[in-house]
Amino acid sequence: MSSAEIPDDVTQTDAPETGAPTRVATGAPTTRRGAAAHVNAGAAVGLGATPAPSSRPDSAPAPVDFAVLAAKYRPVFARIAEGSVERELERILPAEQIGWLKASGFTAVRVPVLAGGDGASLPQLFRLLVELAAADSHVAQAIRGHLGFVEDRLYAPESVDRDEWLARFAAGQLVGNAVTEIGAVALGVTNTRLDAAPDGFTITGSKFYTTGSIFAEWIDATAVSPDGVEVAALVSTAPDSTASGSVEISDNWTGFGQRLTGSGTTVFTAAPVQAAHVYDFSERFPYQTALYQLSLVAVLAGIARAAERDAADQVANRSRAFSHGNSPITREDPQILDIVGRISADAFAAEAVTERAAQSLQRAFDARDSSAGVRDRAKRETEIETAQAQIVVSQLTLGVTTRLFDGLGASATSTSSSLDRHWRNARTVTSHNPVAFKARIVGDYLVNDAEPPYEWYVGVGAKPAAAPK
């Protein structure tokens, strides 16, 4: 990509940013204020529609070999893994590590090669995401909003705006998210608003669970436009972009797991938004809910893989054994080996289920230039298959992270080893978009051909009825 094709606001990310705070005392929120607070946020479905070939010039490049992607990114993942236990124990945000991802090009892993990216397919992306989550589950979840917005721009028709965003991704710019409203908000109501301004809009409102935004150059925020339409507004966190307003992002997430994702509060106070960076929320890519959900499933599969790794390592290096065990050497005790083997099998299954569900997302992407009927069937398929994946992988990963301790004994509960992080992080991830409702949704679809919900809300009371058209 020539420099002439890169938007004026794009600067290449060659090194991790140093402005974001990287150390936070447990339970003590840290906030950066100012003009730009750049501191945080299955086979049951046989629909079988064959998408029509796309006519877009960047849509059908030569497929990239996964081995090439793995060779590029595994050294970065290994480097990220090195300090993961210390960061967990000391509550050190992975700002530096996410900087390494930006510098490596991972922000553009899905972007076509002709636009400066790797051209990875969705199944390849999710294979990589599982590996990243095995290195550090916080980092993998922190980029979830970015992966969603990249997909939205890839799915969109060709335009100057699309090209500019692809250039930003290729330059290492990251997008966070800000969707959930704070407090006792009525179910389905968005209080965050856009107000008209001479050069576009300003955004005002407060959001929570703004995962990844603390590390990002942009925030993908939901708001209501002046004419009452729900929109997505891309808000820059660059200091010169918020001189007339403010974006305040706090690392005040108090959950017992996934504490380093930057899932805290973001407050917008008349922060400027370019008119070109406002998108009708109803026109977002149709499988966005499924992609966001499968991103969490991939995080779970990565946690299972990390637990498998730690179980094998701990047993292999354990010097003490129980008198009533089967061997004076723990690594030769058949019952302990059985535990490790079952952990490994479940971790393998979790990853395989994730990759299978990712194939349905790829089919939905490939259907973007097909008929409305084909697109709708592909959308339904992704929702059902990701729900199936969530049900299974949640159970597998929680089981793996519990059985890890069965093969090790009480000494494994020492806080210095932080083996409990696997269960805490898995339990926290499975509490997102509650799995409790998913089996009922799948069953209703299979038995009654019921349409699954493609978006959902958190709030108080009943969702207000849509206004008549």
Q: Is the pLDDT of residue 45 over 60?
A: no
Q: Would you place residue 57 in the very low, low, confident or very high pLDDT band (cuts 50, 70, 90)? A: low
Q: Is the pLDDT of residue 19 over 50?
A: no
Q: Would you place residue 434 in the very low, low, confident or very high pLDDT band (cuts 50, 70, 90)? A: confident
What pLDDT is attached to residue 469? 39
What pLDDT is attached to residue 188? 83
Contacting residues for 324 by C-beta, under 8 A, at least 6 apart: none
Residue-wise pLDDT tens digits, 299-338: 999 999 999 999 999 999 988 888 888 898 888 999 999 9
Q: Is the pLDDT of residue 133 over 70?
A: yes
What pLDDT is attached to residue 323? 80
Q: Where are the domains of the chain?
A: 44-173, 181-283, 288-448
Residue-wise pLDDT tens digits, 385-421: 999 999 999 999 999 999 999 988 888 999 999 999 9
Q: Is the pLDDT of residue 223 over 80?
A: yes
Q: Would you place residue 242 in the very low, low, confident or very high pLDDT band (cuts 50, 70, 90)? A: low
How far is residue 196 from each of residues 77, 80, 182, 434, measured CA to CA in Å? 43, 43, 23, 37
> Higher confidence at residue 37 or residue 155?
155
- Mean pLDDT for the chain overall: 87
CATH topology of domain 288-448: Butyryl-CoA Dehydrogenase, subunit A; domain 3 (1.20.140)
Q: Which of 192-196, 322-326, 456-460, 464-468 has the lowest mean pLDDT?
A: 464-468
Round to whole Å and give the CA distance between 440 and 201.
42
What pLDDT is attached to residue 279? 97
Q: Would you place residue 13 in the very low, low, confident or very high pLDDT band (cuts 50, 70, 90)? A: very low
Residue-wise pLDDT tens digits, 71-81: 999 999 999 99
Which numeric CATH code is attached to 181-283?
2.40.110.10
Q: Is the pLDDT of residue 6 over 50?
A: no
Q: Would you place residue 59 in the very low, low, confident or very high pLDDT band (cuts 50, 70, 90)? A: low
Residue-wise pLDDT tens digits, 150-169: 999 999 999 999 999 999 99
Q: Which of 54-63, 73-82, 175-184, 256-265 has the lowest mean pLDDT?
A: 54-63
> Higher confidence at residue 382 or residue 455?
382
- Give the CATH number of domain 44-173; options: 1.10.730.10, 3.40.50.1580, 1.10.540.10, 2.60.40.1180: 1.10.540.10
